[in-house]
Amino acid sequence: MRFLPRLALLLLLCCSLATVACADGVVEVTAPGNRLLKLAVVPAQPQGATVQPDLANEMADAQVFDLNMSGLFAAERRDAAPLPQGLGLSVIDYIPWLTAGYDLLIRGEYELRGDELTVEFRLFDVLNKKQLLVKRYLGKRSDLRRFSHAFSDEVLGVMAGAKGAFTSRVVYVSSQTGHKEIYIMDWDGFNTRQITRNNTITISPDVSPDGREIIFTSYKRGNPDLYKRALSSSVEVPISTRRGLNITGAWSPDGSKIALSLSKDGNTEIYTINRDGSAPNRLTVSHSANVSPSWSPDGSKIAFVSDRLGRPQIFIMDADGGNVRRLTTNGSYNVNPSWSPKGDKIAYARMMGGFQIFTINTDGSDDTQLTSEGSNERPRWSPDGRLIVFSSQRNGGQAIYVMRADGSGQTKVSHTGGQNIHPVWTPRWE
């Protein structure tokens, strides 16, 4: 027993010597924690004669919400004296911001002439006292939130290496008129607009990769058929009206095909069809239900739900229907798969009393529960993979929520009445 302390001392000495040896070559610098970058957003200052503080505040608030939801920043709106010579000619005094502990600063200015709006935003690195980003946007007054979101996307591009998806929107189904119709809103719940007016059941929307068209299932002719329409048009084109169910349509990543579930053979099977509905190609062959196809980002694989083993589970197959393998092994009822844009994870809903949202690696590892409050279904990834939108039944009604990919920051974004379900993210505004 007496030699134990000596042995420990000897080991400690060896470790110290190893560190010294390492320091001669490459020195390791470590620090604890993972801090959020503290970001101050100053409402844009007016450039011309028209002064509208509400407009400036709304833009600042939109950016604060975006950047806080990114999970990289602790953003807050801070008022500051306007720069006397405008943003372009003034020298930023970083000291007060540095003293207040901020890492980054967003300042902007706007000019409103009638309905024409010009906005300029700048991102400053307070710590290094330098400007990181300048963007100028020209458009209508109604575009102000879009300009703010666009700048938030750019900020993420500069700071995280990949643009955000705050200019994208969410298409969803709402029953606020008494019928299930399709709506679209900004990702943060603003600028809601009704898309369909079929006065019947319209469900399961999906947005084309270019963001111009949507497909959905509607009962407007009595049968659940698959329709397609442009977001800018009211013309709805039936693309799959086969006998039985034509449901859970999903665009392929290149937009050339649509995967969907058809029950024309008796039980529901997964097919692919061309974007005009032609050339159906059956992918699954089983005596059970196969629904909810979700393409991998490279279009080579499809995740889907099948109860071929008795209970609904998530499976993965090649895009031609081969090489089927079971993905989820935990839980007895797993549905609603959604493949992440990076291709590494699949989000899905598991029934555990109510439904809860999980993510799992595509090799079946790291099965992680993200939600626990209420009943949560239909997860869909944002185009940048940072956020997940889902429908949640909490406090009575069913609403659209957004959370970060790790389950944090769950926030209700839909503000309309009725039941709000089946959310889908559109591509970002380029």
Which part of the chain contacts other proteins (CB under 8 A), choosing from 33-41, 44-52, 293-301, 355-363? 33-41
Bridge partners for 424 per DSSP: 171
Give least dist CB 162 to other proteins, A. Answer: 7
Min dist CB 264 to other proteins, Å, is 46
Is 21 a binder of other proteins (CB under 8 A)? Answer: no
Q: 229 forms bridges with which residues in the sheet?
A: 214, 236
Alpha helices in 94-143 (DSSP H): 95-99
161 binds other proteins (CB under 8 A): yes
The vertex-343 CA angle with 341 and 349, nearest 5°, equals 80
Q: Is 160 in the site for other proteins (CB under 8 A)?
A: yes
162 belongs to the binding site for other proteins (CB under 8 A):
yes
Determine how β-strand 104-113 pairs with β-strand 116-125. antiparallel
Closest CB to other proteins among residues 58, 76 = 76
What track of x and - describes contact with other proteins for positions 54 through 83 (by CB under 8 A)?
-----------------xx-----------
- Joined together, the tokens standing for residue 221 give 């002719």
Query: Which helix H or strand E contains 76, and what residues bound it?
Result: strand 73-77
**What is the Cα–Cα distance from 296 to 45, expressed in whole angstroms?**
45
What pairs with residue 305 in β-bridges?
A: 291, 314
Helix axes 53-69, 144-160, angle to 10 degrees: 40
Query: Judged by CB under 8 A, which stretch of 124-132, 136-144, 188-196, 313-321 contacts other proteins?
Result: 124-132
User: Is the CB of 27 or the CB of 81 nearer to other proteins?
Assistant: 27
Element (H, E) at 273: strand 269-274
Q: Is 36 in the site for other proteins (CB under 8 A)?
A: yes
197 binds other proteins (CB under 8 A): no
Minimal distance in Å, beta carbon 72 to other proteins? Answer: 6
Please identify, using beta-carbon distances, which residue of 103 and 120 lies nearer to other proteins.
103
Minimum CB distance to other proteins smaller for 191 or for 408 = 408
Alpha-carbon distances, residue 68 vs 5, 328, 411 (angstroms): 50, 32, 11
SS3 annotation, 166-219: CCCEEEEEECCCCCCEEEEEECCCCCCEECCCCCCCEEEEEECCCCCEEEEEEC
Give least dist CB 30 to other proteins, A: 4
Query: Is residue 57 packed enough to be buried (19+ CB in 10 Å), middle (13-18) or exposed (0-12)?
Result: middle
Judged by CB under 8 A, the stretch of 41-49, 154-162, 188-196, 235-243 that binds other proteins is: 154-162
| Residue 204 burial (10 A CB sphere; 0-12, 13-18, 19+) | buried
Q: Which is nearer to other proteins, 37 or 92 (CB)?
A: 37
From 30-38, 88-96, 145-153, 200-208, span contacting other proteins (CB under 8 A): 30-38
Q: Kindly state whether residue 127 participates in binding other proteins, applying the rule CB under 8 A.
A: yes
Size of the site for other proteins (CB under 8 A): 25
Binding mask 86-105 for other proteins (x = CB under 8 A): -----------------x--
The answer to whether 24 contacts other proteins (rule: CB under 8 A) is yes
Least Cα distance to 394 among 407, 376, 413 occurs for: 376
Q: Closer to other proteins at the Cβ: 12 or 23?
A: 23
214 CB contacts (<8 Å, ≥6 apart)? 171, 182, 195, 205, 206, 207, 208, 228, 229, 231
| Residue given tokens 């185009």 in the structure block | 383
Contact segment (CB under 8 A) with other proteins among 19-27, 39-47, 88-96, 224-232 equals 19-27
- Sites of contact with other proteins (CB under 8 A): 23-37, 71-72, 103, 125, 127-128, 159-162
